[in-house]
Amino acid sequence: MGEIGTREPTPVGNLLGAAVPTLRGRLFEVRIRREWRELVGAEIARRCQPVELRNGTLELIVDNSPWLHELSLREAELLSRLGERYGREAVRALRFSLGTLPPEPAGHPGRSGRSDARLAPEDAQMIEAAVALIPHPELRAAVVESAFTSFNRVITRWAWEKTRVPDFPLLPLVRAWIRLRLGSDPETLSPIRQLPLLNGRPILHIAGDRDWLMPVSEARTLFELTRGPRELWIVPGADHGHCWRTAPEEYEGRVVGFFDRNV
């Protein structure tokens, strides 16, 4: 039996890249953007930022023509710096174009020399969702059908019911890929987190008792967490998204009656 605990720790990024090959390039792009200022210096970083790596060519945005000309002449020097850090084959060419610079990664000094403090994406999303409700006093009631509590739990449930794939070890990698692709974490927009933003408005929760993807337990949880007037209707025999199709007349009567009472 081999010895336990003799191997060096492996960075999570390496594990993700090995398990999901399509992530490898994106993770490398993120690394270049994060280390760009350190790699090329503050002066160049203020005028030029990397945006994409495609087939070994690093796309760069430059904010004015004189710097575009200057950096084009220094392409060999920049490639040498990239090669020393990442390997000669990682970035084989540079392509410069004029444009508006993307923001530098959080944590680097901004152009004013002050720390560029930014909200985490999940905090920004929560604020955006909260502010979205403020200018809409006409939003006085809501009907929620076939809802789920957690985005992550939906992925886990779907994978198991459809493919019998357990959550670990694959699904954490899938969720990481989704976050990377979206640029934010959709879990922060899960109904269980957004429900408080309705701030006491009446809610009618509707769920089908044969809904395998968003089971009745999800609707009951959201119903219990609703602060304000609330109603719960479990539709017998209804699968996911088929509540109206299963009982159209009762559906319309309940929804219209709910709004008549609350709007």
Q: Do 139 and 239 belong together in one domain? A: yes
SS3 of the chain: CCCCCCCCCCCHHHHHHHHCHHHHHHHHHHHHHHHHHHHHCHHHHHHEEEEEEECCEEEEEECCHHHHHHHHHCHHHHHHHHHHHHCCCCCCEEEEEECCCCCCCCCCECCCCCECCCCCHHHHHHHHHHHHHCCCCCCCCEEEECCCCCHHHHHHHHHHHHHCCCCCCHHHHHHHHHHHHHCCCHHHHCHHHHHHHHCCCCEEEEEECCCCCCCHHHHHHHHHHCCCCEEEEEECCCCCCCHHHHCHHHHHHHHHHHHHHHC
The predicted structure's pLDDT at residue 138: 65
Closest alpha carbon to 159 in 148, 170, 145: 170
Looking at residue 93, its pLDDT comes to: 93
> Are residues 63 and 149 both part of a single domain?
no
What gap in Å lies between CA 166 and CA 204, rounded to an integer?
33
Type of residue numbered 89? E
pLDDT band at 205; cut points 50, 70, 90 = very high
* Listed residues 35, 65, 98: the one ending a domain: 98
Overall average pLDDT of the 226-232 stretch: 89
Euclidean distance between CA atoms 109 and 208, whole angstroms: 53
Structure tokens of 234?
């479990």
Split into its structural domains, the chain has a count of 2
64 occurs within a structural domain = yes
How many alpha carbons fall within 13 Å on the CB side of residue 43? 3
Contacts of residue 162, defined as CB under 8 A and 6 or more positions apart, other chains included, come to none
Q: What is the pLDDT of residues 158-185, one digit of tens each?
A: 777 777 877 778 778 877 887 787 777 7
34-92 per-position pLDDT tens digit: 899 999 999 999 999 998 888 889 999 998 888 988 899 999 999 999 999 999 888 99
Q: Are residues 62 and 137 part of one domain?
A: no
**CATH number of the domain bearing residue 229:** 3.40.50.1820
CA atoms within 13 A on the CB side of 252: 3
Residue in the block written with tokens 């927009």: 189
Residues 236/216, Cβ–Cβ less than 8 Å: no
CATH code for position 83: 3.30.300
Are residues 192 and 139 located together in one domain of the fold? yes
Q: Could you tell me if 75 and 128 lie in one domain? A: no
- Specify whether 254 is located in the same domain as 126: yes
- 85: containing domain: 12-98
Model confidence at 9, pLDDT cuts 50, 70, 90, reads: low
| φ, ψ (nearest 5 deg) of residue 234 | -100, 120
The confidence score (pLDDT) of residue 8 equals: 54
* Domain finish residue from 41, 65, 98: 98
Conformational region of residue 125, where left means phi above 0, alpha means psi within -120 to 50, and beta covers everything else: alpha
Task: Output the six-digit token pair for 235.
Answer: 């539709």
Q: Are 65 and 178 in the same domain? A: no
The verdict on residue 211 lying in a domain is yes
